[in-house]
Amino acid sequence: MTSTTSGTRPALNGVDTPTLFATLDAVKASPELAKFQFRATNRWISGTNNRSTIRGFYGAGQEDTSRTEDFTYDADHPAVLVGTGKGPTPVEFLLHAIAACLTAGLANIAAARGITLRRVTSTVEGDIDLLGILGLSDQVRNGYRQIRVRFEVDGDASPEELAALVERSRLRSAVYDVLANGTDVQVDVGTR
């Protein structure tokens, strides 16, 4: 760590650190800019195969127009679960989400702290007993019993400083918070 103040750190790790700090200042001045709404739409295809489309969101006081194309993702069950394997299972996308959220945060935090990263990888495992979702046991929950994320971080700092990046990222992770603590989920239906 150098004596450079956070506000004058240069871009690092592909993070535009000056803009990041300017954004923080802007939100501090106008907290309503921090209100975001993300969205996805999904369409059933056949069997357990379906497809989500992600594009628009609201944030920083307006509808975002920066995305010029849809992101589309298939999900499916594998053959062993009587699906056609045209995509990962829905629960595997949760593992992608937690790894991605922690990694993005880690890169931002490293840049803010002036730490150059060389390589960040992670592996995520989720244990689930399907007796719950198969309706074969009321004693077994439907979801993951446990999710484990293991990071390997290579960068220009001590092992303790690199480990502290992971911990700080966890403490500021939106996906970690939702997966660890849950949130209010409302499901409703219109038929036609």
Site residues (CB under 8 A) for a copy of itself, limited to 171-190:
172-190
Q: Does residue number 56 form part of the binding site for a copy of itself (CB under 8 A)? A: no
Distance CA(172)–CA(101), nearest Å, equals 9
The values of phi and psi at residue 158, to 5°, are -70, 160
Among 7, 34, 116, 156, binds a copy of itself (CB under 8 A): 34
Each residue 129-168 as x (binds a copy of itself by CB under 8 A) or -, in order, gives xxxxxxxxx--xxxxxxxxxxxxxxx----x--xx--xx-
Q: Does residue number 113 form part of the binding site for a copy of itself (CB under 8 A)? A: no
Among 4, 10, 27, 156, binds a copy of itself (CB under 8 A): 27
Structure tokens at 117: 């990263």
According to DSSP, residue 116 is labeled: P
Query: What's the min distance (Å) between Cβ of 155 and a copy of itself?
Result: 8
Taking alpha carbons only, the member of 185, 162, 187, 177 closest to residue 106 is 162
Closer Cβ to a copy of itself, 2 or 135, answer by number:
135
The values of phi and psi at residue 162, to 5°, are -70, -40
Q: Does residue 115 sit in helix, strand or coil?
A: coil
Residues between 72 and 111 that touch a copy of itself (CB under 8 A) = 73, 75-85, 87-108
